Structure 1
Amino acid sequence: MNDGNEITARQRPLMEATLRLIGRRGLDGVTHRAVAAEAKTSLGAVTHHFRSRDALIEAALRHALARETGRLRALALGLQDKAINVDAWIESLVVWYDRELKADAEMHIACYEAFLAAARTPHYRLVVEEWFETWRRSAQLALAAAGSSDPRRHAELFVSALIGLVFRQLAAPRRAFRRETISVLAELVSRLLQRG
């Protein structure tokens, strides 16, 4: 039985299946039966771990955000050596997201569903805040290295712009996403650094 906080190795395929369903059909598309079919397992295996649909969805959304936060931390560490060169930092960041969205859009859509769930239900907010804080710290590091006079405030603006651009790409994919996003973020950072 799962309390929604810790995912076991046996539950992980159920979480991934649930997230794929959320990404494809939204929260309403999640049922025990649909998850069992998606995970290619028995209905009993799903209900054994998650008695209620709400517990299943909550665990999956928490898993998605925790997974994404871990990946963002790893990305932030990988980008630290590029932080002093803002153009290289932005390009690496956008290239990473471009690959991610092509390879695993459903996971990112599920993360946005988690953001909406946090707007409605307070117990999702801590996990979502951790996701935003991971991003903000990464951007703050890069912007401080670039000479920002207010790296925290500028990081908030940068992260908001990035999240919006990624959301737009998920909702209405563009072929020129990589080029356009690099250009927009570089211009934003340039203006932030000029204004102080």
Structure 2
Amino acid sequence: MHDNMAISDRQQALMEVTLRIIGRLGVDGVTHRAVAAEAGLSLGAITHHFSSRDSLVEAALHYALARETGRLRALSLSLQDHVMDIDAWIGALAAWYARELKTDAEVHIACYEAFLAAARSPRYRDIIQQWFFIWQRSAELALKAAGSTRPQQHAELFVSALIGLVLQQLAAPRRNFRRDAVALLTGLVDGLLGRR
């Protein structure tokens, strides 16, 4: 279940429903009955694909992270046009997250649940490491182009700040998230690079 292309349409739909439940109620809110009710399927249809609740949750979290990793790769490629202009890169990044958090907040919450699951169990760690690697590599390229003398370290700080901002927005939404994120991330980069 690590590869989104290897699952059926029905399984993908079950993953989406499970993620919405995780986003609303947390991992403990997932039951076969809850997924069946939200998906409009019989209980037997759910247990046919996932014999245990743990296998359902694990599959959904892997699906979420694999999906987000793919989306982050695509975003990273789209941001390459802005990589030489760090301010444009930060602006595009903040705009992307502002849209994402309005339209797909539950999936992002589920991804944070996957981070916690990885803290408890090694089976989630590989995909979490891929997620971080993609973000850090993208940030490293942008920061190097902007003149960072320590792009790897600066990228780690940048990604940590971004993850924190997204988590904060999910937990305590700001009305002007995009504007605030641009200001905070630009301030961080200015400090790291000694700009202005």
Q: What's the TM-score, normalizing by structure 2?
A: 0.96
Tell me which residue corresponds to 1:117: 117
User: Deviations along 1:68-107, whole A, 9 cap, x unmatched?
Assistant: 0000000000000101101100000000000000001000
Range 34-43 or range 61-70, more displaced: 34-43
Tell me which residue corresponds to 1:47: 47
CA distance in 1, matches of 2:169, 2:40: 30
Tell me which residue corresponds to 1:24: 24
Provide the aligned C-alpha RMSD in A: 1.0
CA distance in 2, matches of 1:127, 1:40: 30
Q: What's the TM-score, normalizing by structure 1?
A: 0.96
CA distance in 2, matches of 1:184, 1:5: 35
Tell me which residue corresponds to 2:2: 5
Tell me which residue corresponds to 1:101: 101
Structure 1 unpaired stretches of 5+: none
- Is residue 2–residue 66 contact of structure 2 (8 Å, CA) maintained in 1? no
CA distance in 2, matches of 1:36, 1:130: 31
CA distance in 1, matches of 2:95, 2:169: 13
The 4+ residue runs of structure 1 with deviation greater than 4 A are none
- Paired amino acid for 1:109: I
- Per the TM alignment, residue 44 of structure 1 is displaced from its structure 2 partner at its CA by 1.1
Percent of aligned positions that are identical: 68
Aligned length: 192
- Per the TM alignment, residue 8 of structure 1 is displaced from its structure 2 partner at its CA by 2.5
Structure 2 unpaired stretches of 5+: none
Structure 2 residue 70 is matched with structure 1 residue 73 = no
